[in-house]
Amino acid sequence: MNLSDNKATLSFSDGSPSVEMPVYSGSVGPDVIDIRKLYGQTGMFTYDPGFLSTAACQSTITYIDGDKGELLYRGYPIEQLATQCDYLDTCYLLLNGELPNVQQKKDFDHLVTSHTMVNDQMQYFLRGFRRDAHPMAVLTGLVGGMSAFYHDSTDITNPEHRHIAAIRLIAKMPTLVAMAYKYKIGQPYIYPKNSLSYAGNFLHMMFATPCEEYKVNPVLERALDRIFILHADHEQNASTSTVRLCGSSGTNPFAAIAAGVACLWGPAHGGANEACLNMLEDIQRMGGVAKVGEFMEQVKDKNSGVRLMGFGHRVYKNYDPRAKLMQETCKEVLQEMGLENDPLFKLAMALEKIALEDEYFVSRKLYPNVDFYSGIVQRAIGIPVNLFTGIFALARTSGWIAQLNEMIGDPEYKIGRPRQLFTGPVARNVKPANER
Ligand code: SDX
């Protein structure tokens, strides 16, 4: 970051001495006011619940322009990565800062492919869960549990450990998500098949059975790979910030990523794709497109507590570029599966059309986000609704690791420790129980 010749001066109406703070510029995007000395100079904290106006770190990984609806991974537009690269290219890019050349790609793909199996003991973790456990509960346990197996890659201060932990997590997430699915439906686990692509192997582990050969559909394989690319990273979102804060204590990468999985589960974040599809199915049950107007009235009624899931975004105040690509992928998959007239897709398109013309949404700059179409695509591929967020976690693992490693590699990093504005009771003495 570069010191700007601009400075920020904070003055106080009570005549307290004003404070000057440096302003820094990045390569693109908003400048930042460095408040690190503010408490020391004023005895005051800044106040920013939800961190809407706070840059928690500097990063070179992902840039979002919310007003333009732009998303860049290491400077490459998501539209180019999603159409010209595959997910493992994207993982390499996020981890290393550059796209792989032909030899680097060959080596990286081989490295990931040769780490897809998990320790066989891990299957006994699953047996402890109820069959109807939510897959995200299982995945949170399995990912955290990895730190019980891979002791040779838990020292985050060792770059080699960080590298092999990154490879293990990227390679094994599909295996773990597929195991959580197979456990739930009572089918045997399917071992990874190293002759398949990353996405093809995931489809194989999800839908193959020991009883017959499973043939990967190339259209679904490509669609899933694109879904992984679109979900790989997204700047300092809630789950990535969780991974950074968790990792800042020096804990091992598996524990930090498990914290990210847990955070992503929430319906305001990664759980929105599951919530969005459930919303579409509810409207369909109520009468489909004919009921959209009534549903939208509910959404606009603050007291209803109803939100249009898959719409709105903390940063995008324009169309989420991932949603556009997801809609295209949706059309390709529905066509391949002979579901061109899928009622839920038609319902989603109708909802989007109405929302984009409705003053309530227009005035609040609410547009479809990545979750609006992703559920329909995954459902058409045959993925169960409650596994959607597990797929999101699988894809976001590469971004989480890249962000975690960037933080650990930053000489300035220290354990995160936000402060507070205390509004509770001031010091008082305990009274005997019979006087309370
Ligand atoms: C992801 O951060 C990331 O980058 C996340 C993510 C990633 O890749 O990591 O992009 C993934 O989490 C995408 C978002 C998925 N969530 C949903 O689709 C859930 C539905 N959307 C929201 O709940 C909401 O839009 C948020 C949480 C996403 C963003 O909320 P903000 O920016 O805090 O906006 P807000 O809640 O302050 O809302 C501003 C106004 C409010 O109305 P007013 O009080 O001004 O009258 O817009 C309204 C909100 O009520 N609003 C919605 C709405 N989202 C916001 N009203 C109806 N439906 C919605 N979806």
322 C-beta closer than 6 A to ligand 1: no
Atom 25 of ligand 1: nearest residue by CA position: 312
State which ligand 1 atom lies nearest to the alpha carbon of 276: 18
- Please say if the pLDDT value at position 62 is more than 90: yes
Distance (Å, whole) CA 9 – CA 54: 18
Residue 366 CA, ligand 1 centroid: distance in Å: 8
| Percentage of the chain lying above the pLDDT 70 cut | 100
Q: Does the beta carbon of 269 sit less than 6 angstroms from any atom of ligand 1?
A: yes
390 pLDDT tier (thresholds 50, 70, 90) = very high
Residue with the smallest CA separation from ligand 1 atom 23 is 268
Phi, psi (rounded to 5 degrees) for 124 = -75, -20
Is the CB of 71 within 6 Å of ligand 1?
no
Contacts of 321 (CB under 8 A, 6+ apart): 69, 70, 71, 77, 78, 79
Give me the mean pLDDT over the 252-279 stretch. Answer: 94
Which DSSP string do the residues of 131-200 spell out, in sequence order?
TTS-HHHHHHHHHHHGGGT-GGG--TTSHHHHHHHHHHHHHHHHHHHHHHHHHHHTPPP----TTS-HHH
In this predicted structure, the answer to whether residue 151 has a pLDDT above a threshold of 90 is no
Question: Of the residues 269, 302, 315, which should be mutated to test ligand 1's pocket, given the most ligand atoms within 8 Å of the CB?
Answer: 269
3-class secondary-structure state, position 393: helix
To 5 degrees, how large is the angle CA 113–CA 115–CA 119? 140
Residue 369 CA to ligand 1 centre (angstroms): 9
Among the atoms of ligand 1, which is closest to the Cα of residue 310? 18
Whole-number Å distance, alpha carbon 271 to ligand 1 midpoint, is 12
CA of 367 relative to ligand 1 center, distance in Å = 10
Q: Which tens digit of pLDDT belongs to each residue from 211-239?
A: 998 999 999 999 999 999 999 999 999 99
Per-residue pLDDT tens digits for 3-59: 888 899 999 999 999 999 999 999 999 999 999 999 999 999 999 999 999 999 999
| Cα 345 off chain centre by | 23
| pLDDT of residue 393 exceeding 80 | yes
pLDDT > 80? residue 153 = no
CA 311 to centroid of ligand 1, rounded, Å: 7
pLDDT at 347: 92
Helix axes 388-408, 238-247, angle to 10 degrees: 50
Count of Cβ atoms closer than 10 Å to residue 42 Cβ: 15
Query: What are the tens digits of pLDDT across the range 290-308?
Result: 999 899 999 999 899 999 9
Using an 8 Å Cβ cutoff, are 206 and 383 in contact?
yes
Q: What is the average pLDDT score of the chain?
A: 94
Q: Is the pLDDT of residue 413 over 90?
A: no
Rounded mean pLDDT, 366-376: 89
Model pLDDT for residues 269-283, shown as the tens digit of each residue: 998 888 999 999 999
Helix or strand holding residue 98 (H, E): none
SS3 of 27, please?
coil
Catalytic member of 109, 313, 320, 358: 313
- pLDDT confidence of residue 338: 92
Residue 300 CB less than 6 A away from ligand 1 = no
Give the neighbor-by-neighbor strand order of the sheet with 2-10: 2-10, 19-25, 32-33
Q: Is 313 a catalytic residue?
A: yes
Strands 70-73 and 62-65: antiparallel
311 close to ligand 1 (CB < 6 Angstrom): yes
**Contact indicator for 251, 415 with CB cutoff of 8 Å:** no
Q: Say whether pLDDT at 150 is over 90.
A: no
C-alpha 371 to ligand 1 mean position (Å): 11
**Distance in angstroms (rounded) separating the CA atoms of residues 361 and 354:** 9
Q: Whose CA is nearest to atom 12 of ligand 1?
A: 269
Answer whether residue 191 shows pLDDT above 90: yes
Query: What residues does 62 pair with on adjacent strands?
Result: 73
How many CB atoms are located within 10 Å of the residue 5 CB?
A: 7
> Looking at ligand 1, which residue's alpha carbon is closest to its atom 28?
313
How high is the pLDDT of residue 96?
A: 97
pLDDT band at 154 (very low <50, low <70, confident <90, very high): confident
pLDDT at residue 158 in the model: 87
Distance from chain centroid for Cα 102: 28
Query: What's the pTM?
Result: 0.93
pLDDT band at 142 (very low <50, low <70, confident <90, very high): very high
**Counting atoms of ligand 1 from 1, which one is nearest the CA of 233?**
8
Minimum CA distance residue for ligand 1 atom 42: 364
pLDDT of residue 410: 85
Helices 253-264 and 159-185, packing angle to 10 deg: 40
pLDDT for the residue numbered 407: 96
pLDDT over 90 (residue 170)? yes
Distances (CA, A) of 230 to 122, 139, 209, 216: 29, 21, 29, 21
**pLDDT exceeding 90 applies to what percent of the chain?**
84
Q: Is the pLDDT of residue 177 over 90?
A: yes
Which of 297, 314, 352 is the best mutation target for the ligand 1 pocket, counting ligand atoms within 8 Å of the beta carbon and taking the most? 314
CA dist 310 and 267 (Å) reads 10
In whole angstroms, what is the distance from residue 340 CA to residue 75 CA?
35
Q: Is the CB of 371 under 6 A from ligand 1?
A: yes
CA of 5 to the centre of ligand 1 (A): 36
The rounded distance, in Å, linking the Cα atoms of 337 and 137 is 31
| Centre of ligand 1 from the C-alpha of residue 16, in Å | 39
Give nearest CA residue, ligand 1 atom 31. Answer: 314
Q: Which residues pair with 20 in a beta bridge?
A: 9
